[in-house]
Structure 1
């Protein structure tokens, strides 16, 4: 029995070992290096003097960091919950379709998700263009007949980019919700119908509780993804007031690649890293606890 146990441990080590080595080399060790770099006054490439917690004090008191934090929080508010709710509604509608029609409609919603961010940017930059954009006619109705640059007007910038992000990313969430909906047995709905339960009652008592684990997963994935928002905000802000619309990842990019402050950039990255861990774990635990009630 002892020899069998050793053989099991050896097989487990052989199977898990390559992943552990690769994970440690590509994630754990770079993370440790970044944490150590955050305590130094180093350039982007090279070493620097040890400054202890000075970088953290400096970054946390920096006005631009505060601006980036609130912009990121605002973007998360505009995208995470709306994206989840819209994806759930669309998934429930698509799930009622049958045959090739369902596949075609699902493909139409999922197609934007596979597009690179550059294509998404160019497409929507053309659609919202102030001179010939397709949506400017609709915008003019709410602006006294005058077109307006949606990405050059600061109050409209984040809502515009959030809408583009929702259009771009909700296809994957729809797939997750459809997978969850298909795991619900039709017999449960048939029994509810026999008890004269309407569609809203069925959603409250059957669909929503049984789809809640998928909802918690989608919310957590969206929270992590939107806290790391960079590409579309950076592209849409080119030529505009980038500091007014800066996000946390943009702030790290600015420190590292534009100002050559590797130590401070690592500090900002560590703060973002800790923020993502704390918020995602806290949210997932709260959602899971709510689902168990």
Structure 2
């Protein structure tokens, strides 16, 4: 009997390793090894065309004293502040609307999700047209001729607004899946007890959706911290570098200044910042879930 059990366990272990092997190989070749190579490059004085000598932590020392890097990090945090919470809140509201209006559900779901399928080039083209100083829809609505994308104060907020419009559909689908996993008999039992409207949301929907909200916040934080395309296409980092994100600064360092070693140090430092923030936010979300349980 023991021999059969051992043989069965070996067979299950072999099957598990066989199923995991393709992912493990891809992860090793296309993620883990490049990360190690990037870290090693950050310890050298390398350019795009050659790898120079080992210089230890010199790039990181320079990075810690680089005002351009911290300015880009600050812009990135500001962008995340402008997008993470609105994307999560609007996604939840849209999902509630789709789930409530069952007859119009396919129409609403398509309308909310449609912008998400647009390529970034199309999205930025639409946003640029809407924000034109003389002929843009936004200036027509507010009866002004403001150059939004050239305004030091408004450039980043309007890029953030365009990003929210573009990507909120993903959160809507995420929350809609969570809403449809809530058992209907919970609502029926609460309705028999006289619960209506916001009481149903507060006592059933919100507690059930809290883990999904935590997941959405973490995903949106990571996505917002990785922003590059929107600001690069719409503003090229301007005006006066007020929309230059961390990845944009890394791109300029690597491909314009041809300083691959320093760009690798920027990448590693930024990864550490994003991972730390994501872990902190995930821990905070778990704490909220436990407090609300």
TM bin, normalised by shorter chain, reads over 0.9
Indicate which of 229, 234, 237 corresponds to 1:236. 234
Equivalent position SS for 2:242: helix
**1:179 aligned onto 2:177:** yes
Q: Which residue of 2 aligns with 1:196?
A: 194
Question: 1:21 Cα deviation (Å)?
Answer: 1.0
* More off after superposition, 246-255 vs 191-200: 191-200
* More off after superposition, 130-139 vs 206-215: 130-139
Indicate which of 61, 65, 69 corresponds to 2:65. 61
**1:21 aligned onto 2:19:** no
Question: 1:44 Cα deviation (Å)?
Answer: 2.0
Indicate which of 208, 211, 214 corresponds to 1:210. 208
Q: Which runs of 5+ in 1 are unaligned?
A: 141-145
**Distance 1:287-1:239 versus aligned 2 partners, 3 A rule:** closer
Separation of aligned partners in 2, 1:157 and 1:278: 28
CA contact (8 A) 1:43 1:262 kept: yes
Q: Which residue of 1 aligns with 2:139?
A: 136
Question: 1:188 Cα deviation (Å)?
Answer: 1.5
Separation of aligned partners in 2, 1:209 and 1:90: 18
Separation of aligned partners in 1, 2:264 and 2:18: 35
* More off after superposition, 6-15 vs 172-181: 6-15
TM-score by length of 2: 0.94
How do 1:1-293 and structure 2 match up within 5 A? 1-99=5-103, 101-140=104-143, 146-238=144-236, 240-241=238-239, 243-293=241-291
* More off after superposition, 162-171 vs 240-249: 240-249
Question: 1:69 Cα deviation (Å)?
Answer: 0.8
* More off after superposition, 2-11 vs 24-33: 2-11
What is the aligned residue count? 287
Separation of aligned partners in 2, 1:102 and 1:213: 24
Question: 1:15 Cα deviation (Å)?
Answer: 1.5
Question: 1:256 Cα deviation (Å)?
Answer: 0.4
Runs of 4+ that moved beyond 4 A: none
Question: 1:51 Cα deviation (Å)?
Answer: 1.2
Q: Which runs of 5+ in 2 are unaligned?
A: none
TM-score by length of 1: 0.94
Question: 1:242 Cα deviation (Å)?
Answer: 5.6
Equivalent position SS for 1:41: coil
* More off after superposition, 238-247 vs 192-201: 238-247
Question: 1:239 Cα deviation (Å)?
Answer: 8.7
Separation of aligned partners in 1, 2:169 and 2:260: 37
Separation of aligned partners in 1, 2:153 and 2:106: 38
Question: 1:292 Cα deviation (Å)?
Answer: 2.0
